[in-house]
Amino acid sequence: MEEVAQLCDRTIFLKGGKIIANDLPKNLAKTISACRLHLTIADGLKKTISLAEARRFPHQTTLRSIQITLDETEIPSFLTAVALAGVEYTAIKIEEPTLEDYFLHIAGRDS
């Protein structure tokens, strides 16, 4: 899907032989609000995992890093909770939704 987003001016998605989406790749991706928050944790990984689980955010950990999937609007309050819990992180990255995220979203919904 990354190549489609880079190469195509317009993207059309079909489902059951019907057009269900027809727009610029970046516009389709913007309709998804789930972002991926990546934190590299210096101290407090277990606390961060507990905070993510308490809010029912899907997450994955790798060594000292955690990737959390959450709505874009929930990022500030989650980072505030992380700070109040005394978690120290050394790096932060926020990945916006992609065309692939959009595709997975529409592929999973009932029509």
Please say whether the beta carbons of 68 and 58 come within 8 A: yes
**In the chain, where are the structural domains located?**
2-108
Distance of CA 108 to the CA centre of its chain: 16
pTM higher than 0.85, yes or no?
A: no
Residues in contact with 2: Cβ distance below 8 Å, sequence separation at least 6, in sequence order: 98, 99, 100
3-state SS, residue 91: strand
pLDDT in tens, 3-59: 887 888 888 888 888 998 898 888 887 887 789 999 999 999 999 999 999 999 999
Q: What pLDDT does residue 16 have? A: 85
CATH number of 2-108: 3.30.70.1150
**In the predicted model, is pLDDT for residue 73 greater than 60?**
yes
The CA R_g of the chain, rounded to the nearest whole Å, is 17
Q: What pLDDT does residue 46 have? A: 96
Query: pLDDT band for position 110 (50/70/90)?
Result: low
